[in-house]
Amino acid sequence: MTYLSATNSAKIELHLHLEGGAPPAFIRGLAQEKQVDIGGIFDTHGNYKYTDFWDFLRVYEAATQVLQTPQDFHRLTLAVLEESAKSGVIYTEAFLSPDFCGGRDVGAWREYLHAIREAADIAEKIMGITLRGIVTPIRHFGPDKARETAICAAETAGDWIVGLGIGGDEKSGHLSDFAWSFDCAREAGLRLTAHAGEWGGPDSVRSAIQDLKVERIGHGVRAIEDLALVDEIAEKGVVLEVCPGSNVALGLYPSIRKHPINELYKRGVRITVSTDDPPFFHTTMQKEYAALHDAFDWDEAFFDQLAKASLDAAFCDADTKARLHKTLEQAHA
């Protein structure tokens, strides 16, 4: 394997926050256009500046203040997908938050969604990247707002909005507080994922599986602290949306070499690789692949198999999957 062939291969990304993918220059530009004061969220190089995960959430939410209209989200979607496509991503699932798209009002949410989908259609035609949406309650906004968010998700569930997946501060409340929202989404035919096992330990991962009945987990890496849980995850086929660069940037692990992704894989867990909030963490899918190659010697055949397994774990419909599997086969031939 050459370094280049692996990093250039066709990729599938399952864990990307749309607002978290906003290039800092894009947010600065919108702030200037709209004369919005978002405070000192950039460093002297123009990158996002934060001290830890909780400060990251504050900066993230400050940046979203400039995203005020469906048209802003249209532009954001194009900017984010352009970066992903440059990294060789052919399919991505993005977390979308009705909290930032019309304050969880279903009518307003539909307008934002329409604008996002229009941008996604353009990106698919000109960049060859397919996008699907996962509606995202924000945990520290509380269970009541999560219910309204789940209703937005249920009302727009279909072949484009394909899932529900809670994000935000894992230390806020308990996952079981959100069971109503997850039941509502499941009944509407949505597939389920939850951030767990990032800032919470194995119990948080267990709760996602037992209380919310998710089939995928955002991060989930701290399951490694309980090997019986790792076995259970492997046996049940629960998929981990692992974001190694995010975990290192936020200080969860000191380096990719010390990250448990390879250990989880070797223990039979279905792993996938994503960027989470790429500009915040100075990462891209290409950089993730290069770092994993360097740390664990994952080769081209491994990455090809990873892309296929990730597509198998995607929430999109069977026809879309079959089309994308063909694209992967052609790209990896």
Q: Do residues 321 and 311 lie in contact, with contact meaning Cβ atoms separated by under 8 Å? A: yes
User: Does residue 216 touch ligand ADE according to CB under 6 A?
Assistant: no
Closest to ligand ADE by CB, 132 vs 219, is 219
Instruction: Find which of Zn ion, ligand ADE, none residue 168 binds, CB within 5 to 8 Å per kind.
Output: ligand ADE
198 is catalytic: yes
Question: 10 Å Cβ neighbour count for 81?
Answer: 26
Q: Which range, of 154-162, 274-282, 283-291, 322-330, touches Zn ion by CB under 5 A?
A: 274-282
Q: Which residues pair with 242 in a beta bridge?
A: 273
Q: Residue type at 175?
A: L
Site string for ligand ADE, 55-94 (x = CB under 6 A): -----x----------------------------------
We find the least distance from the C-beta atom of residue 219 to ligand ADE, in angstroms, to be: 7
Q: Which residues pair with 135 in a beta bridge?
A: 96, 164
Question: 10 Å Cβ neighbour count for 250?
Answer: 20
User: Does residue 167 touch ligand ADE according to CB under 6 A?
Assistant: yes
Distance of alpha carbon 244 from alpha carbon 291, whole angstroms? 9
User: Does residue 277 touch ligand ADE according to CB under 6 A?
Assistant: yes
We find the least distance from the C-beta atom of residue 252 to Zn ion, in angstroms, to be: 12
We find the least distance from the C-beta atom of residue 165 to Zn ion, in angstroms, to be: 8
Pairing state between β 130-135 and 161-166: parallel
- Three-class SS string for 302-327? HHHHHHHHHHHCCCCCHHHHHHHHHH
User: Does residue 195 touch ligand ADE according to CB under 6 A?
Assistant: yes
Q: Do residues 236 and 269 lie in contact, with contact meaning Cβ atoms separated by under 8 Å? A: no
Q: Which of 61, 198, 288, 300 is catalytic?
A: 198
Question: 10 Å Cβ neighbour count for 291?
Answer: 21
Q: Do residues 182 and 164 lie in contact, with contact meaning Cβ atoms separated by under 8 Å? A: yes
- Report the residue from 83, 276, 288, 300 that binds ligand ADE according to the rule CB under 6 A: 276
Residue 130 in tokens: 């397919």
Closest to ligand ADE by CB, 60 vs 315, is 60
User: Does residue 222 touch ligand ADE according to CB under 6 A?
Assistant: no
List, by residue number, the catalytic residues.
198
Q: Which residues bind ligand ADE (CB under 6 A)?
A: 17, 20, 60, 167-168, 195, 198, 246, 276-277
